[in-house]
Structure 1
Amino acid sequence: MRVIAGKYAKRNLYTLKSNATRPTSDKVKGSLFNSMGQFFDGGQVLDLYAGSGALGIEAVSRGYDGAVLIDISGQACSIIRKNVELTKEPDKFDILKMRDTVALKILSEKGRKFDLVFLDPPYAKEKIIKIMQLLLKYNLLNLNAWIVAETDEHTDLPNVSGFELIKNHHLGRTKVKIFERK
């Protein structure tokens, strides 16, 4: 797995040596970012189930100002730290080891706001809907923020109040839906 484009392009990233995470493949990541416009002009990213941190790092590589990378696994956070070190810009990243709902509450209390949120949790359908609702409840999203929800091919996400579905991709065995905050 590697950073595909931008200022960190071609850097090989570390991954966990277990089945506990499902890293987004380079093919899916490339298609996803190409569909979003490839490069960006600032903004803040939240990756709530960061795994290796690859999606948040890719977003910053392509022009976002910074990313908060969260995972409940200590092993995953250790890998994320190693990958952030590869960027040579650790000040652009915050790494938090905690549960998703706790993290959202803390980020809300700190007044954080995000323009792009990656959601690729285990037990996707139920978790994604709940987290999208919490993002609104805690006022963590800037207007027109994007939520990128990744699931397996068998999971279908319904529309969520407060969001509009703007893109829907079926990439092999992965489904990616991009919602915009309204």
Structure 2
Amino acid sequence: MRIISGKYAKRNLYTLKSNSTRPTSDKVKESVFNSLGQFFSGGNVLDLYAGSGALGIEAVSRGYDHAYLVDINSQACNIIKKNVALTKEKDRFNVIRNSDFKALKIFETQTIKFDLVFLDPPYAKEKIVKVMNTLLKYDLLNDHALVVAETDQHTELPEVDGFILNKDHHLGRTKVKVYERQ
């Protein structure tokens, strides 16, 4: 796995050598960023189930200002920190070891808002809708913020109040839906 484009392009990333994380493939990552736009001009990114941190690091590489990389697994957080170190810009990243909803509550108390959110949780259907509703409830999204939800090919996500479905990709065994905050 590597950083595909931008400031940190072609740097190889570390991954966790276990089944506790499912890294987003370079093919899926490239397709997601091609559909979002190649490069960006600032903003905050949240990867709530960061694994290796690849999606958040890619987003900062392509122009976002800062990424918050959250994972509950301590080994995953160690890998994320190693990957962040490869950027030589650690100040542009926060690595947070916490559960999803506890992290969201922390962001609410710190009044941090996001422009792009990546969601690739285990048990996707149940979690994604709850997380999206919590993002709205805690007012964690800037106007027109995007939420990228990644699931397996068999998971169908419902419409979520407060969001418009912008894009729906089927990439092999992976589905990616891009929602925009209304």
Alignment TM-score > 0.5, same fold? yes
Distance 1:128 1:17 in 2: 25
Runs of 4+ more than 6 Å apart:
none
Residue identity opposite 2:170 in structure 1: H
Q: Deviations over 1:38-68 (max 9, x none)?
A: 1001010000000000000000000000100
Q: Deviations over 1:23-47 (max 9, x none)?
A: 0000000011001111001010000
- Structure 1 residues not aligned, in runs of 5+: none
Q: Deviations over 1:100-145 (max 9, x none)?
A: 0000001000000000000000000000000000000000000100
SS of the aligned residue for 2:151 comes to strand
Matched, 1:56 2:56: yes
Distance 2:94 2:32 in 1: 23
- The 5-angstrom pairing of residues 13-24 of structure 1 reads 13-24=13-24
SS of the aligned residue for 2:145 comes to strand
* Paired position in structure 2 for 1:97: 97
> Scaled by the length of structure 1, what TM-score is found?
1.00
> Scaled by the length of structure 2, what TM-score is found?
1.00
* Paired position in structure 2 for 1:176: 176
Q: Deviations over 1:49-103 (max 9, x none)?
A: 0000000000000000010000000000000000000000000000100000000
- Between Structure 1 and Structure 2, how many residues are aligned? 182
* Paired position in structure 2 for 1:9: 9
Residue identity opposite 2:145 in structure 1: A
Distance 1:93 1:157 in 2: 30
